[in-house]
């Protein structure tokens, strides 16, 4: 785990091969004659890189600190302890490290500009231009991704917002596109005439929240959406992602976001598979129990009970629980938090500094959000809990320096093309650009949530136990959705700020993954709408 290993001893890193840590092949030859490695993938179009000439050039270079001196050993060499068993997996891991090390050492791009910590700046304008192109007319080969059109809207608008762009000029386009994808029976498909799906409905609702405005909000047929969600609700507490489709934790999270953003009633109609005549089940009943069954023996969260733990499912689980009640109650009472923290922390690698999504898998830029975004929710759980058995929230639970180095050094496409990517050697795309920037926001900020108020069940006055339970669940969810998350720049004690202030991105709501003002704007609008 990077957070456990990290130290702040700085060393000089020479460009000569003699001063570097052994390469995978050199190290493996000491262990076994069977070790082989391949050359690191070349960064795409390095010759197209552009120097930011706004950076002042010092005339006395010999008096300036060498940026390489400020890079910790942890990010410039192979781990001291390595498994001598050589497998296909370990070889691919070594290849990934070899691809990342030149960027982490400040050697790539060759004409790059680095700060005193050996970290390049955020190529903000290049990334914005990249995203604008994705919102324009795409080449014919993108027809295969037609069912992902709602995601392109959300990924691009969200990433642009993180970079400081005003996205309200895109409102008319979002409205027109959303109308073509909404189905009369409720929900949004990936395109016109396509089946409604919780994932694409989630993306459309977030895109509408990002551009805001009454005309955009009114595109959503809330009554049809409510009835459609009821048909997806299952007796075991979870949600199918589409009518007759698979049931997994993505569905629970997407449904919770849609229900709370649109302030939908929690009642079920008789068409719902989970409907009971006594009214004891609503849209949120049993969701926490479903999430609990998805925690695995490793401590992570799987998409379905008895499946493999995955970083994205961990975020969905924590986000879902945080919309049911205050995280100090909902997360603490549902999951084995110490084991989950251990699993999440183990997803961060050295020397890369980024996160992987599963055990023994490669680092990937998108998990900067899917795993990195879990920690604000975990910290809210710990800060609001009186349970002394949980880890102290005073120290960062992950290496923010490591994640920042991976994002700014390795995940940026430093060519004229711009955008952010999985890892060096991969092409940038809108998906990675959004979630890598979201992860950067998690590394650069800290969120605070007030401690939970008394349990809503003690405040209900209904004489019916069923009515009491339903009212308590509704009150807890409303309070969780209305909670104001205070956000500040992270000023922890686990190391210096290694990025320049101009490279700070905007914060987002830790649960909804859009700015908090967008959440408040949509919820306040629908709070003022009577009925459907």
Q: Any alpha helices (H) in 361-509, and if so which ranges?
A: 367-370, 374-383, 400-405, 430-444, 465-482
Give the active site residue among 123, 221, 422, 503.
Answer: 422
CB–CB of 299/342 below 8 Å?
Answer: yes
Q: Report the 3 state secondary structure along 256-276.
A: HHHHHHCCCCCCCCCCCCCCC
Told to judge if 326 belongs to the known catalytic residues of this protein, a careful annotator would answer no
Alpha-carbon distance of 205 to 219, in angstroms, equals: 10
Give the active site residue among 361, 416, 426, 506.
Answer: 361
Alpha-carbon distance of 251 to 284, in angstroms, equals: 12
95-128 b/e with 16+ CB inside 10 Å = b? bbbbbbbbbbbbebbeebbbbebbbbbbbeebbb
CB–CB of 134/427 below 8 Å?
Answer: no
Told to judge if 432 belongs to the known catalytic residues of this protein, a careful annotator would answer yes
Give the active site residue among 123, 248, 325, 364.
Answer: 364
Told to judge if 310 belongs to the known catalytic residues of this protein, a careful annotator would answer yes
Give the active site residue among 254, 320, 366, 410.
Answer: 366
Told to judge if 83 belongs to the known catalytic residues of this protein, a careful annotator would answer no
Told to judge if 429 belongs to the known catalytic residues of this protein, a careful annotator would answer yes
CB–CB of 391/338 below 8 Å?
Answer: yes
Q: Is the dihedral of CA 12, 13, 14, 17 positive or negative?
A: positive
Residue 283 CB partners (closer than 8 Å, separation 6+): 229, 230, 233, 255, 259, 264, 266, 267, 268
Give the active site residue among 82, 293, 358, 506.
Answer: 358
Structure tokens at 340: 């989950």
The DSSP secondary structure of 359-397, one letter per residue, reads TT--B-TTHHHHTTTHHHHHHHHHHT---TTSPPTTS-S
Give the active site residue among 432, 445, 509, 523.
Answer: 432
Structure tokens at 1: 């785990």
Give the active site residue among 126, 197, 250, 310.
Answer: 310
Chain centroid to CA 23: how far?
32
CB–CB of 363/346 below 8 Å?
Answer: no
Give the active site residue among 217, 253, 313, 367.
Answer: 367
Structure tokens at 521: 């704007």
Residue with tokens 């308590």: 472
Q: Is the dihedral of CA 62, 64, 70, 75 positive or negative?
A: negative
Give the active site residue among 94, 325, 429, 503.
Answer: 429
User: Annotated active-site positions, please?
Assistant: 310, 358, 361, 364, 366-367, 422, 429, 432
């Amino acid at each position: 785990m990077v957070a456990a290993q990290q130290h702040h001893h700085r060393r000089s890193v020479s460009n000569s091969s003699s001063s570097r840590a052994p390469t995978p092949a050199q190290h493996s030859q000491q262990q076994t004659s069977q070790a082989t490695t391949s050359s690191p993938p070349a960064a795409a179009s390095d010759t197209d890189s552009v120097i930011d000439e706004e950076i002042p050039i010092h005339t006395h270079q010999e008096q300036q600190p060498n940026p390489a001196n400020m890079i910790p050993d942890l990010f410039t060499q192979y781990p001291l302890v390595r498994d001598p068993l050589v497998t296909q997996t370990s070889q691919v891991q070594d290849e990934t490290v070899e691809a990342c090390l030149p960027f982490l050492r400040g050697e790539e791009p060759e004409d790059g500009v680095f700060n005193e910590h050996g970290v390049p700046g955020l190529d903000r304008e290049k990334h914005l231009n990249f995203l604008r192109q994705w919102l324009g007319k795409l080449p014919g080969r993108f027809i295969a991704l037609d069912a992902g059109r709602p995601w392109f809207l959300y990924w691009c608008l969200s990433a642009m917002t993180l970079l400081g762009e005003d996205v309200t000029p895109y409102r008319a386009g979002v409205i027109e596109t959303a109308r073509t994808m909404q189905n009369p029976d409720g929900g949004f498909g990936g395109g016109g005439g396509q089946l409604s799906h919780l994932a694409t409905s989630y993306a459309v609702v977030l895109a509408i929240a990002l551009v805001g405005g009454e005309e955009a909000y009114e595109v959503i047929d809330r009554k049809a959406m409510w009835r459609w969600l009821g048909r997806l609700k299952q007796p075991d507490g979870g949600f199918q992602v589409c009518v007759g489709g698979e049931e997994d934790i993505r569905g629970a999270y997407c449904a919770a976001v849609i229900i709370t953003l649109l302030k939908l009633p929690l009642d079920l109609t008789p068409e719902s598979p989970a409907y009971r005549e006594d009214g004891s089940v609503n849209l949120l009943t049993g969701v926490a129990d479903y999430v609990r069954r998805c925690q695995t023996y490793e401590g992570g969260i799987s998409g379905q009970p008895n499946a493999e733990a995955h970083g994205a499912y961990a975020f969905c689980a924590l986000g879902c629980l945080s919309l049911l009640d205050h995280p100090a109650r909902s997360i603490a009472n549902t999951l084995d938090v110490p084991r989950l923290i251990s699993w999440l922390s183990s997803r961060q690698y050295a020397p890369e500094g980024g996160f992987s999504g599963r055990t023994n898998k490669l680092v990937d830029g998108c998990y900067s959000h899917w795993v990195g975004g879990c920690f604000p929710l975990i910290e809210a759980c710990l800060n609001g809990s009186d349970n002394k058995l949980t880890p102290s929230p005073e120290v960062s639970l992950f290496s923010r320096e490591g994640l920042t180095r991976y994002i700014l050094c390795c995940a940026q496409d430093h060519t004229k093309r711009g955008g952010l990517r999985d890892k060096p050697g991969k092409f940038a795309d809108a998906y990675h650009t959004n979630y890598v920037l979201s992860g950067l926001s998690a590394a650069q900020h800290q969120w605070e949530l007030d401690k939970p108020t008394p349990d809503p069940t003690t405040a209900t006055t209904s004489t019916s136990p069923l009515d009491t339970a339903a009212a308590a669940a509704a009150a807890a969810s409303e309070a969780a959705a209305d909670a104001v998350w205070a956000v500040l720049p992270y000023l922890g004690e686990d190391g210096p700020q290694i990025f320049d202030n101009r490279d700070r991105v905007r914060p987002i709501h830790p649960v909804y993954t859009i700015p908090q003002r967008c959440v408040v704007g949509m919820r306040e609008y629908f709070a003022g709408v009577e009925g459907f």
